[in-house]
Structure 1
């Protein structure tokens, strides 16, 4: 199967408390594989990361994982990926993931997912790229973040265009439709 696009997915190394988070991670992996899009992610085999990757693999999808040496034992580095890269630092990990992707999708996650999101959002804000960035707002998980971005704009710390740089979608079906349109 030829790879038409690669989608970077940032998400939790934990499953979270809602079954819908796991279900959406699995649906994302399945959707990426069905579209022939390669999953680019943090190479972990735990939490939502593991769910996305295992489901993409089971559906015949290609997987590109990047993990820093120090997280290998914590995130249980998934060695059976199509491409497996070990980096020295987190910064290298983020750069390799981003450089090998055509779009970014953020599923529910914690501080690491926020770090990854804000780095690519900042890069977009300062004109370093124009790749689309989506947050999968399952059960309103990212609503407080979206409100914070609106607050940052309202308080004069960012241009109104910042809000347009992060597209919130409420379902994997909506994510798929939005990705298809953005990557056309």
Structure 2
């Protein structure tokens, strides 16, 4: 699923992740991934929050020289990052997801709760139906998404996925592998 070599210029990489304060196993991995994004000149497209894991990723990208493109939602604009390079505020979550997809070249799903899972499944559903061809990588920090990977393998094996799983999504154990899978 890696991008063609001609597309290996800096990308707008959408990251879906939690706005919650999390354990160091997740924040350390997120910080490392964010630093790689920034050092390689990529821009972060994210939910715009200045809290939790979203803040960790935004801080890391910005500190390493990358651009921040925040896409918040009206009811969360009070927690939006003040110093993003761009901040867009949408009317609702559906509009935010659409804007995040439109502004990105590739998607990485990091650890998160139901909101992150909702974002991931919608992006995968759109990809499954050919509504976008952007690569999607699930960053499986500390095995967080092992259960989801297993469930998706079962979906594929039992005929619930009309496309092969490896054409739909890739799983990476760390940020370096995620960027390699994106060709970034």
- Bigger Cα displacement from structure 2, 97-106 vs 27-36: 27-36
Cα distance in 2 for residues equivalent to 1:113 and 1:139:
17
Is residue 6 of structure 1 aligned with residue 12 of structure 2? yes
Find the residue that maps to 1:150 and give its secondary structure. Answer: helix
Is residue 155 of structure 1 aligned with residue 158 of structure 2? yes
Find the residue that maps to 1:44 and give its secondary structure. Answer: coil
Deviation sequence 1:23-47 (CA, Å, 0-9, x none): 1111121111111110000000111
Match of 1:29 among 25, 30, 34: 34
Alignment partner, residue 46 of structure 1 = 51
Q: Conserved in 2, the CA contact under 8 Å of 1:38 and 1:63?
A: yes
Cα distance in 1 for residues equivalent to 2:86 and 2:129:
30
Cα distance in 2 for residues equivalent to 1:160 and 1:101:
22
Cα distance in 2 for residues equivalent to 1:108 and 1:38:
19
Shift of 1:124: 0.6
CA RMSD, Structure 1 to Structure 2 (Å): 1.4
- Bigger Cα displacement from structure 2, 7-16 vs 162-171: 162-171
- Higher relative contact order at CA 8 Å, sep ≥6: structure 1 or structure 2? 2
Deviation sequence 1:115-157 (CA, Å, 0-9, x none): 1111110011001111100011111101101111112223322
Q: Which runs of 5+ in 2 are unaligned?
A: 1-8
